[in-house]
Chains A and B, each alone.
Chain A
Amino acid sequence: MQRREALKKIGLTTGFVIATPTLISLFQSCTDDTQNWVPQFFSEEQATVLTDIVDVFLPKTDIPSATEVNVPQFMDKYVNEVWELIEQDRIKVAFDKLLMQIKTDYNENLNKVTEDNYKDLLDNHMLIVPKGQEPTPETEPMTTSDLLNSIKWMAINGYKINETVGETILAYDPIPSTSYCGDLQELTGGRAWSL
């Protein structure tokens, strides 16, 4: 399978995650010093919003938050290296619109936009796409709701294929052996298998 095709398997609106070695290697390249992260695709301002918003989706609990496992860095590389140019242009336009919206509604200084501001944004602008209904077709501009949903799904998929999450939080058994069906609690304590 072509690398691009393999990577595209973690699409935007799907719940499926296929952890291929290619994907894992892409993720492993995201473990640089995050303090000095220079985004490849997103602008500095977009990266600021992305970093804040993924932790609203997946906040720190007794397990790491999205930023603690470098999800924004992954998303930046993923969009940069996997998306088609037309898709990249589409998200750029939508993201710039979102930045304007955040600045107008909450704070000109993006570093001062609070977690509650982001929750308010999501409550007001992220529509849950009804089941079976596709988001806005690619020929149309991406709406704010489409963008927020895209970020949500990329964050979820990026989080689930992260090495730390895969090996220490999800149920992990690299040598799975014979197949059988059993009690969910006994097998994994209620967690999904990472592989």
Chain B
Amino acid sequence: MTIRPHSIVCEVIYDEKLGKATGVKIIDAETKEVHEFKAKVIFLCASSVASASILLQSKSERFPNGLGNDSGELGHNLMDHHFMVGASGTVTNFDDMYTKGRKPNGVYIPRFRNLGGDSDKKEFLRGYGFEGGAGRGKMSEIVRELKYGKDLKEAILKPGEWRMGITAFCETLPDHKNRMYLDYDKKDEWGLPTVTFDANFGENELAMRKDAKEQAIKMLEAGGFKDIQAYDDIGGMGLGIHEMGTARMGRDPKTSVLNKHNQIHACKNVYVTDGAFMTSSACQNPSLSYMAFTARAANHAAKEIKNFK
């Protein structure tokens, strides 16, 4: 296997006669020379925004609006998780306990909304999970209350009160209005069009956040926490760094870009296996799903390779 570094894929080459992709065009990031590489099968896994950009740049007679863009959905349905809503509270019965060491994770509360029965909510579709943790990092209330002197100095050297916080990571629904598109008037140093985003969270997301905040407070209250402080700071798409959905999968080629094997509907020797294929965002961290889908698609391609001659 040869890995070629500093290679910016700018186009998937589509052969009109053969009716399939035959390779990729790359720009050498350092020399800016353009090279072509031939392939029987092409996997785009450049991350959701970059893969969609490459496809949008891959224009041909058959695909004037970008490779695989018969449906007009390429670059649309852009999603990211919305988060930064939750609550924290103090707990007093563990003042003689402290942590040592480090760990890479905290607590996780899986989704409990819209799973049927009592969990269903009329106000919004789908749901959210909580991530959180506890610690004594914040200085004690005593520090705030003491004005000066030896007692203050002693107090700042002690661990603060135990405080636990939980933050919801919430699903964003696909919306055709949320999109990324190429700006050919503003190009980068390799002459490639830059990406413009036009996307925001919608009513379903806002309703979900309201519930997430209420539930965070209720759970901490039920757990005996005091001094509970809730927050909701939605920000904008991109903060969750889980961009996805720009070449969505679907049964109907009229409304989607990829089929169930991550292949472009009308160009089956091109697979897209990053977050671009996602049909909704779900609420979990997505990397493992992308990896599983990529492995599944690779397995499919290996079986089908004889058909891609």
User: A-side interface residues toward B, CB under 8 Å?
Assistant: 15-16, 56-59, 61, 63, 119, 122-123, 126, 128-129, 131-132, 152, 156, 159-160, 169-170, 173, 176-185, 187-188, 190-193
Residues of chain B lying within 8 A (CB to CB) of residue A128: 144-145, 147
A179:B148 contact, CB within 8 angstroms: no
A182:B144 contact, CB within 8 angstroms: no
Nearest opposing residue in chain A for B159, CB measure: A192
Q: Is B141 located at the chain interface by the 8 A CB criterion?
A: yes
Complex formed: what's the CA distance from A126 to B147 in Å? Answer: 8
A183:B97 contact, CB within 8 angstroms: yes
B100:A179 contact, CB within 8 angstroms: yes
Nearest opposing residue in chain A for B149, CB measure: A59
Q: Is B223 located at the chain interface by the 8 A CB criterion?
A: no
Complex formed: what's the CA distance from A179 to B159 in Å? Answer: 17
A180:B144 contact, CB within 8 angstroms: no
Complex formed: what's the CA distance from A44 to B274 in Å? Answer: 60
A-contact bits for B116-156, CB 8 A (1 contact / 0 none): 00000000000000000000111111011101111011001
A119:B98 contact, CB within 8 angstroms: no
Q: State the Cβ distance, A194 to closest chain B Cβ, in Å.
A: 9
- Most chain B beta carbons < 10 A, residue from A15, A131, A169, A188: A15
> Could you give 22 example pairs across A and B, Cβ below 8 Å?
A15-B144, A57-B152, A58-B152, A122-B148, A128-B144, A128-B147, A152-B147, A156-B139, A160-B156, A176-B102, A178-B101, A179-B99, A179-B100, A179-B102, A180-B100, A181-B97, A182-B98, A182-B100, A191-B157, A191-B158, A191-B159, A192-B157
Residues of chain B lying within 8 A (CB to CB) of residue A122: 147-148
Complex formed: what's the CA distance from A142 to B197 in Å? Answer: 40
B157:A170 contact, CB within 8 angstroms: yes
B148:A184 contact, CB within 8 angstroms: no
Q: Is B103 located at the chain interface by the 8 A CB criterion?
A: yes
Nearest opposing residue in chain A for B144, CB measure: A128
Q: Is B253 located at the chain interface by the 8 A CB criterion?
A: no
